[in-house]
């Protein structure tokens, strides 16, 4: 269990100390999410030489630089595309993608859909802070309705994406959601996703204290995480005909799971069969 391993877990063993101090703002939920991921990897006893972490552009994308493993900081919206090639070429590696809500659902949305459809052995963590935090605070696909951003000064009028519903509908083998308010639960969910023998998608509700929080007068970082604990962003799930959840009922934990064949294994099996058939034909 995650909780049982807490006293023995030292996050510094998994970090590139030369990259410190980190660039994250005080109270940023992304640092909490990174700790939860490293905690889950520690629990699984993952060999750092067999760990590959791929990330895109944005605050979430920066996290791979801090992990003492094989890491790839790639182009905006493309971490799942790079990870797909890596996982196919090196099935011996444990491949993790860290992406933000803009990186994963806007420019990278098509890659997410097809990664879910293929069901290749990749763990994708989408850190959802509802905004483009690094580039000025623009509206993102997950920004709650009526929230203020740089590009929606009167409040966001567009409906937001339910990323987990999208991933489940596209066929992801494992889908889950958790907030940064409860690190052991988040680490447990990540551990389950890492163990799943197919594509796993985990949405992490992560607070942006400086850009999103200030514009929306949500208080200090501690007040924001307490609000996350009590409300779970109910403004995004109003009690209407068009939304499946009511306030305070945003589901967390494992939301979907299936046992479809893993794409990499199926691909290698098919390739081996074609190679064997060609060899047999050549002998005749």
Tell me the DSSP string of 38-99. HHHHHHTT--GGGEEEEE-SSTGGGGGGGBSSEEEE-STT-HHHHHHHHHHH-TTSEEEEEE
Higher-scoring residue by pLDDT: 1, 224 = 224
**Cβ 186 vs Cβ 37: under 8 Å:** no
Domains identified in the chain and CATH numbers: 14-283 (3.40.50.970)
Q: Is the pLDDT of residue 244 over 50?
A: no
Which residue, 262, 249, 100, is CA-closest to 174?
262
Q: Is the pLDDT of residue 243 over 50?
A: no
pTM: 0.89
Q: Per-residue b/e over 148-165, b at no fewer than 16 CB within 10 Å?
A: bbeebeeebeeebbbbbe
Which pLDDT band, with edges at 50, 70 and 90, does 223 fall under?
confident
Give the integer Cα–Cα distance in Å for 118 and 260: 10
Which residue, 63, 93, 97, is CA-closest to 78?
97
Which residue, 114, 116, 154, 151, is CA-closest to 130?
151
What number is the average pLDDT over the span 30-35?
Answer: 96
């Amino acid at each position: 269990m995650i909780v049982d391993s807490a006293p023995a877990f030292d996050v510094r063993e998994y970090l590139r100390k030369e990259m410190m101090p980190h660039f994250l703002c005080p109270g940023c939920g992304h640092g909490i999410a990174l700790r939860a991921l490293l905690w889950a990897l520690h629990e699984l006893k993952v060999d750092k030489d067999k760990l590959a972490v791929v990330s895109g552009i944005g605050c979430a994308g920066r996290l791979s630089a801090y992990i003492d493993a094989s890491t790839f900081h790639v182009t905006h919206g493309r971490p799942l595309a790079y990870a797909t090639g890596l996982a196919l070429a090196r099935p011996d590696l444990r491949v993790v993608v860290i992406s933000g809500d803009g990186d994963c659902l806007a420019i990278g949305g098509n890659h997410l859909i097809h990664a879910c459809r293929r069901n290749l052995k990749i763990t994708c963590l989408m850190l959802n802070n509802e905004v483009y935090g690094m580039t000025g605070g623009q509206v993102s696909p997950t920004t709650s309705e009526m929230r203020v951003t740089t590009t929606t000064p009167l409040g966001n009028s567009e409906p937001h994406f339910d990323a987990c519903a999208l991933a489940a509908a596209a066929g992801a083998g494992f889908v889950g959601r958790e907030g940064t308010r409860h690190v052991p639960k988040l680490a447990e969910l990540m551990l389950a996703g890492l163990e799943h023998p197919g594509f796993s998608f985990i949405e992490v509700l992560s607070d942006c204290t400086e850009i999103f929080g200030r514009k929306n007068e949500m208080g200090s970082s501690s007040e924001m995480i307490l609000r996350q604990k009590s409300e779970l962003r109910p403004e995004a799930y109003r009690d209407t005909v068009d939304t499946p959840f009511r306030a305070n009922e945003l589901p967390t934990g494992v939301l979907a799971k299936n046992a479809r064949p893993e794409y990499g294994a199926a691909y290698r099996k098919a390739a081996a069969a074609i190679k064997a058939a060609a060899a047999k034909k050549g002998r005749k």
